[in-house]
């Protein structure tokens, strides 16, 4: 394969990956909506009997739900309170946590420390790294060839 065919294949796969991630986010939102509706129906039907089962009902974990919220926000940075409010609007069950704000905030901190998301200290907000929003997961999209594109860019020394 020549370099251009490889670059075209990477571009096609990156586009497909971006679409699949978007599809997964739509499914995650729908799952959270369904969970919310099920919880509401169960609580109105048999509040005491099904309370424990309702607390155990969560197909999407907190970290994955936060990823979905951040991906859907695009390059817009969100505060921990914004993330928590969005999770509530989407129907994610935060009532199972004793202190939901702390749990969301600690999860965001952990994700930022691992490099999965970016913390912006001046605004105390979080977002996905810009390159993953714009270029998928290509470390150096401006590389001259495939090797450079797949290698993390080095910072110039001053």
Query: Does residue 146 have a pLDDT over 80?
Result: no
User: Does the residue 151 lie in any domain?
Assistant: no
What pTM, to 2 d.p., does this model score?
A: 0.55
Number of other CB atoms surrounding residue 35 within 10 Å: 19
User: Does the residue 158 lie in any domain?
Assistant: no
Range of the domain at 120: 3-145
User: Does the residue 97 lie in any domain?
Assistant: yes
Query: Does residue 106 have a pLDDT over 50?
Result: yes
User: CA–CA separation, 122 vs 41, rounded Å?
Assistant: 43
User: Does the residue 156 lie in any domain?
Assistant: no
User: Does the residue 38 lie in any domain?
Assistant: yes
User: Does the residue 154 lie in any domain?
Assistant: no
Give the distance, in angstroms, between the CA of residue 104 and the centroid of all CA atoms in the same chain: 13
B/e letters for 116-152, b = 16+ CB within 10 Å, e = fewer, are bbbeeeeeebbbbeeebbebbebebbeeeeeeebeee
Q: How many domains does the chain have?
A: 1
């Amino acid at each position: 394969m020549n370099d251009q065919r490889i670059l075209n294949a990477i571009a096609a796969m990156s586009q497909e990956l971006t679409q699949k991630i978007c599809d997964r986010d739509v499914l995650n939102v729908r799952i959270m909506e369904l969970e919310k509706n099920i919880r509401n129906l169960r609580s109105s039907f048999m509040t005491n009997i099904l309370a424990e089962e309702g607390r155990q009902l969560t197909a999407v974990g907190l970290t994955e739900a936060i990823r979905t919220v951040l991906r859907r926000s695009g390059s817009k940075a969100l505060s921990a309170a914004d993330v928590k409010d969005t999770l509530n609007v989407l129907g994610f069950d935060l009532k199972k946590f004793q202190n939901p704000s702390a749990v969301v905030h600690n999860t965001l901190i952990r994700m930022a420390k691992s490099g999965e998301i970016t913390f912006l200290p001046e605004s105390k907000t979080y977002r996905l790294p810009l390159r993953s929003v714009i270029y998928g997961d290509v470390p150096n999209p401006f590389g001259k060839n495939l090797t450079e594109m797949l290698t993390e860019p080095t910072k110039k020394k001053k």
